[in-house]
Amino acid sequence: MGFMAFWGQLGFQDSSSPFMEELIFFHDHVMVVFILVMSFVGYVSLWLINNKFTSRFVMESQGLEIIWTVLPAVVLLFLALPSLQLLYLSDEIWEPNVTVKAVGHQWYWVYEFTDHFEMRFESYMIPTEDLESGEYRLLEVDERLSLPLGATIRVLVTSSDVLHSWAVPSLGVKVDAVPGRLNQVSFSTSRPGVFYGQCSELCGANHSFMPIVVEVMDNEDFCFWIFCEITSSANGFVY
């Protein structure tokens, strides 16, 4: 099953990782605070517009200035504390089960497995005329990145030429690929499926034609995929 955004969708994609769930919860939290603040400010504004009375004690009122300084600070604390927690979690790299290196090129991705086994393959977008029934235009690739379900994944991201960005929205992952620099991100998946992403940094003429497809499967299927990839590569069928 594929997880992606569709026309007219206003909210986030369905979360497929614990971190993305936390991001959606934080978004809902911010929206509740935003609606409460806007409702209060709108009510007070309308009340002041329709009010015909004035008070000379409001001018130079130190108490009133303290109130409208402290209250916004308290509101910002309600937003800053969970935001800092999420920022810390996004930078935390737990003990990874699988490490993948993603290298951006103009205009395709190269994936490398080097921790438990040696494997390298390139992932190109499938042209529209070569798509099969049910496949998504501009999103399908010839070689998907397969990952095991529930495992802690570490992705090392870099670029060989210009700036790219490795992003999969449903997993809550977006990492810049910078030439000469190695960025990393850690995540785990909560359900199997096929998850789509795209390069999120303007990188040239074919920027829109280097999609990212992550296929999450159980451990047995993942081991079988690894065996098939290594075998075909050893026989010269896959680079």
Q: Which band of pLDDT confidence, cut at 50, 70 and 90, is reported for residue 124? A: very high
Q: Which band of pLDDT confidence, cut at 50, 70 and 90, is reported for residue 156? A: very high
pLDDT of res. 2? 52
DSSP 208: G
When pLDDT is averaged across residues 142-166 and rounded to a whole number, the result is 91
Q: Are 139 and 160 in contact (CB under 8 A)?
A: no
When pLDDT is averaged across residues 215-234 and rounded to a whole number, the result is 81
Q: Which band of pLDDT confidence, cut at 50, 70 and 90, is reported for residue 236? A: very low
- Report the alpha-carbon distance of residue 113 to residue 156 in Å, rounded: 10
Lowest mean pLDDT among 118-122, 156-160, 213-217: 118-122
Q: List the domains of the chain with CATH numbers.
A: 18-91 (1.10.287.90), 98-234 (2.60.40.420)
Q: Which band of pLDDT confidence, cut at 50, 70 and 90, is reported for residue 164? A: very high
Instruction: Summarize pLDDT for 77-108 with one digit per residue, the tens.
Output: 989 988 988 888 877 777 888 899 999 999 99
- Spell out the residues 6+ positions from residue 81 whose beta carbon is closer than 8 angstroms to its own: none
Token representation of residue 173: 């992952």
Asked whether residue 238 carries a pLDDT value surpassing 60, the answer given is: no
Question: Which one has a higher pLDDT value, 177 or 57?
Answer: 177
Q: Which band of pLDDT confidence, cut at 50, 70 and 90, is reported for residue 234? A: low
Asked whether residue 126 carries a pLDDT value surpassing 60, the answer given is: yes
When pLDDT is averaged across residues 142-164 and rounded to a whole number, the result is 91
pLDDT of res. 87? 85
Q: What share of the chain is helix, strand, coil (3-state, %, to 5)?
A: 35, 25, 35
pLDDT of res. 109? 95
Extended strands (E) in the chain? 2-3, 98-105, 108-113, 119-123, 145-148, 152-159, 164-168, 173-177, 183-188, 193-198, 211-217
In b/e form, how buried is each residue of 71-94, taking b as 16+ CB within 10 angstroms?
A: eeeeeeeeeeeeeeeeeeebeeee
- Report the alpha-carbon distance of residue 150 to residue 88 in Å, rounded: 21
Instruction: Summarize pLDDT for 28-40 with one digit per residue, the tens.
Output: 999 999 999 999 9
- Number of helices (H), then strands (E), in the chain: 3, 11
Q: Are 100 and 152 in contact (CB under 8 A)?
A: no
